Amino acid sequence: MRLLLLFGALLWTAGCTFPSVPSDAMLARAENTFNAEVFSKGGKAVAVIEAENDIPSRYDLHAVLTFRNERTGETFDISVRNGRETVMLSPGDYTLEGFRIVGRERGAYTSIDFGKRYDASFSLEAGEVVYLGKVKTHAVLGEIVSRFFDDYTRELRSASAVTDELKNMSPNYARLIEFHTGKKPSAKLMKWKPSPIFKNKEPSE
């Protein structure tokens, strides 16, 4: 009985608080979180990125963009959980390495991997505070792929693009950036286009 209780307790704690092993992504996050003191020394840039999607789901889905620093080869994730994210990066050229739409609720996990469906890049210079744009992902309904009496399954595609929504940014957020960095964010949209492999598969607008 005691052993059973202990086993149950172990399972419970393992399920609730099983420790995460530090990863490269965690290191990148610790390094890229904005630090006013570090930014004031120079040699860093601040990038703001927004994302939204209307992919039907029972719970919130948010974009996770993975970028690679062309000089160092290091990658880092930008998880746009609340619609926008601000990161502090070293100057240089960055390219999109991965693009996923993910969501999690009560143990359930959804991930839509767009892989290398899009090519995107941006460059940063030291001291810059830039707005990289809003990555908008829209669901596009395709053809009916199967029908069973009144129920039918429709093909679901999606299309993503980057738009300039700096003017619509919450004034409070813009002021917060200015307060911490001493600069207003300026629009410097990342270059975003369908990857040549998937270009022909994009739904027509």
Partner 1 sequence: MKKTALLLTAFLLSSCMSTGSERVKDIDFVRETMGYYGLNKQSVEGLFGMPSSAFVKDGKEVYEYKYISVYNNPASYIPFVGLFFAPDKYLANYLYVTFDRFGNVETYEALSDTGDYPPEKAF
Binding status of residue 150 toward partner 1 by CB under 8 A: no
Q: Are 38 and 77 spatial neighbours (Cβ–Cβ below 8 Å)? A: no
Work out how close the CB of 40 gets to partner 1 at its nearest, in angstroms, rounded to a whole number: 10
Binding status of residue 29 toward partner 1 by CB under 8 A: yes
- Residue bearing tokens 């469906």: 117
CA atoms of 91 and 71, how far apart (whole Å): 10
Stretch that binds partner 1, among 32-40, 95-103, 115-123, 150-158 (CB under 8 A): 32-40
Interface map 89-128 toward partner 1 (x if CB under 8 A) = -xx----------------------------------x--
Give the interface size with partner 1 as a residue count (CB under 8 A): 34
Quick one: 53 or 86, whose CB is closer to partner 1? Answer: 86
- Residue bearing tokens 């991930």: 111
Binding status of residue 70 toward partner 1 by CB under 8 A: no
Residue 9, both tokens? 């307790």
- Residue bearing tokens 């950036």: 177
Residue 8, both tokens? 């149950």
β-partners of residue 94 are 69, 122
CA atoms of 185 and 62, how far apart (whole Å): 23
Quick one: 14 or 140, whose CB is closer to partner 1? Answer: 14
Binding status of residue 165 toward partner 1 by CB under 8 A: no
Quick one: 97 or 202, whose CB is closer to partner 1? Answer: 97
| Among the listed residues 3, 4, 21, 108, the single contact to partner 1 using CB under 8 A | 21
CA atoms of 39 and 77, how far apart (whole Å): 20
Stretch that binds partner 1, among 21-29, 59-67, 109-117, 147-155 (CB under 8 A): 21-29
| Among the listed residues 19, 56, 73, 171, the single contact to partner 1 using CB under 8 A | 19
Q: Is 16 helix (H, G, I), strand (E, B) or coil?
A: helix
Helix, strand, coil shares of the chain as percentages rounded to 5? 25, 45, 30
Binding status of residue 182 toward partner 1 by CB under 8 A: no
CA atoms of 197 and 193, how far apart (whole Å): 11
The residues that touch partner 1, with contacts defined as CB under 8 A, are 9-10, 13-14, 16-17, 19-24, 26-27, 29-31, 33-38, 41-43, 86, 90-91, 126, 173, 176-177, 180
